[in-house]
Amino acid sequence: MNHRFLFICLFAGFFSLDAKALISKTPNKEFLQQTFAGYQGWFSTQKLSKNGIWTHWNAGQIPSVGQIKFELYPDVREYNADDLQETGLGVLGNGQPSMLFASDRAGVVDTHFRWMKEYGIDGVALQRFVSELNLPFQKMLRDDVAVLVRQNAQKYDRSFYMEYDITSSNEATLVSDIKKDWLELETKVLDSPQYAKHKGRPVIALWGFGYTDRPGTQEQALELIRWFHEKGFMVIGGVPYWWRQGINNSKANWLSTYLKFDMVQPWSVGVYASALELLNNHVKMHIDDKKLCDQYNVLYQRVIFPGFAWSNWNGGKFNMIPRAAGDLFWAQAYWTKKLGVSAFIAMFDEYDESTAIAKAAENASMSPVSQKFLTLDADGKNISSDFYLRVAGDITKLLRGEKQLTACLEQPYRLPESRTDKFKRVFRQKVSCSGIVKCLVK
């Protein structure tokens, strides 16, 4: 056969393949060149979810006035109608019924991964709570979400990996529960071309070891690290913020164990509440954290978050750690870039503690009139529901070196209806190392 003809046939055949098949085979980028967000995937509703109960929006019962477990109200306008269930919270400020989604619906996970693709977020760490592994209905929900995450990561060319959270787990069976679960789960996720890898090693995370208020001994942590290492994994440790000093939320004398992880990821949510506090912590803690990790050849990753509050389910001040209209989020990315490390975004869909970057209610018109919820205008700015997705996309570009490092946040609060409208001016707040400054951008 004529070789030229054969080449032409093969070439034509290659480009006749289905586009989705090509996307699903796209090789992953190197792990450290990607920015991941935590993905809870834990919301269920009575009518839509297989477990048949409301979880995380409320504990077992329909969300109603005074009976809710979340702080930030989601923007549900882009979800399919059959992926939403009406609540007992009445109407929104705009007169529409209050609706909430279920995380184990195919359309919901599809929507979330489409947003990741559209806004340039590389992927997610899917949370898996060890305390639920022996609860059949909860485990079923977790398994279903894991399969949907895999499918949509492949569809939208995003990356993902699994993270075990040991909060409230049974210490006596902690190690065996994780090992048993992973041996069942790995056949559902590990062979995906989108499963995250560092230098060819699949990534797994263990979150919560070493905390004063969580189970788990050093021996158990070391056993799991060894077990995953023997299986060829890179193991991330989600560790207490004061891991190096062994004080405050960290158990004492755990440093040698923390340094057995391939990467440490100190949890910073709730630790600082302003750009100034962040700068102080950067100088006094993060730089020395990084130096110690370099000394022991351990990777160091910063956890960054947009804001925090949980008054509806755990008390505390409303809008406890304000987002400052994106300034706090961007300031953390700024110092992360200065430190020369990667970042983990907490979280993609955490509406419970209002750290979610996913689309949320812009103002009272998109929130129930019967119950006080946090909305994105809490800091006095007219912010669009996708603002934090846009900022997260910029942070991803910044950390990858595709965007110039600037002290100022460059995303407008709202995109003009027409980007060619020269008569519209957008106020943006920007962050500098000396604090928050205001800039006027035309």
Three-state DSSP string of 188-252: HHCCCCCECEECCEEEEEEECCCECCCCCCHHHHHHHHHHHHHCCCEEEEECCCCCCCCCCCECC
Categorize the per-residue pLDDT at 2 as very low, low, confident or very high, splitting at 50, 70 and 90. Answer: very low
**From CA 72, how far away is CA 373, in angstroms rounded?**
6
pLDDT above 90 as % of the chain: 87
H/E element, 426: strand 426-432
Instruction: Output the pLDDT for position 98.
Output: 98
pLDDT value of residue 389: 98
What per-residue confidence (pLDDT) applies to 417? 66
Looking up tokens 């300031």, which residue turns up? Answer: 331
Neighbour tally for 281: CB within 10 Å: 17
Tokens of 215: 């189970």
Residue whose structure tokens are 């996970």: 109
- Mean pLDDT (whole number) for 268-288: 97
User: Do the strands 426-432 and 435-441 form a parallel or antiparallel pair, or are they unpaired?
Assistant: antiparallel
Q: Tell me the mean pLDDT in the region 203-216.
A: 98
Mean pLDDT of the chain: 90
Query: Which of 357, 351, 244, 248 has the alpha carbon at shortest distance from 298?
Result: 244
- Whole-prediction pTM: 0.90
pLDDT at 29: 83
If residue 88 lies in a helix (H) or strand (E), which one and from where to where? strand 84-91
Return the CATH number of the domain spanning residue range 25-408.
3.20.20.80
Mean pLDDT check: name the lowest of 190-194, 236-240, 396-400, 427-431. 427-431
Q: Which of 260, 181, 270, 276 is nearest to 225 (CA)?
A: 260
What pLDDT, on the 0 to 100 scale, is given for residue 63?
98
pLDDT tens per residue, range 259-275: 999 999 999 999 999 99
- Indicate the angle between helix axes 136-155 and 174-189, nearest 10 degrees: 40
Q: What is the pLDDT of residue 207?
A: 98
Q: What pLDDT is stored for residue 416 in this prediction?
A: 82
HSE value, Cβ hemisphere, 13 Å, CA-based, for 4: 0
Residue 203 has a CB neighbour count (10 Å cut-off) of 23
Q: Over 90: is that where the pLDDT of 419 sits?
A: no
Q: What are phi and psi of 51, to 5 degrees?
A: -75, -15
Average pLDDT estimate for 365-369: 98
Q: Rounded to an integer, what distance in angstroms lies between the CA atom of residue 261 and that of residue 263?
A: 5
Mean pLDDT of 395-415: 95
Q: CA 402, CA 392: separation in Å to the nearest integer?
A: 13
Q: Strands 263-264, 299-304: parallel, antiparallel or unpaired by DSSP?
A: parallel
What pLDDT score was predicted for residue 356? 98
Burial of 282 (C-beta count, 10 Å sphere; 0-12/13-18/19+): buried
User: 114 by DSSP, 3-state: which?
Assistant: helix
Rg (alpha carbons) of the chain, rounded to whole number: 22
pLDDT tens per residue, range 31-82: 999 999 999 999 999 999 999 999 999 999 999 999 999 999 999 999 999 9
Cα separation, 426 vs 439, in Å, equals 10
Do 368 and 100 form a contact (C-beta atoms < 8 A)? no
Structure tokens given for 363: 């103002």
Provide long-range contacts, Cβ within 8 A and 24+ apart, for 49-57. Answer: 49/102, 49/103, 49/104, 49/105, 49/141, 50/104, 50/137, 50/140, 50/141, 50/144, 51/137, 51/138, 51/140, 51/141, 52/137, 53/137, 55/138, 55/141, 56/352, 57/87, 57/100
pLDDT tops 90 at residue 28: no
CA distance linking residue 206 with residue 127, whole number of Å = 10
Residue 99 confidence (pLDDT) above 70:
yes
Q: Domain ranges in the chain?
A: 25-408
Q: Which residue has the higher pLDDT, 396 or 315?
A: 396
Closest CA to 207 of 289, 314, 128, 309: 128
User: Peptide bond before 162: cis, by omega within 30 degrees of 0?
Assistant: no
* DSSP bridge pairs for 101: 84
Q: Which residues contact 415 (CB under 8 A, 6 or more apart)?
A: 384
How many whole angstroms separate alpha carbon 236 and alpha carbon 229? 11
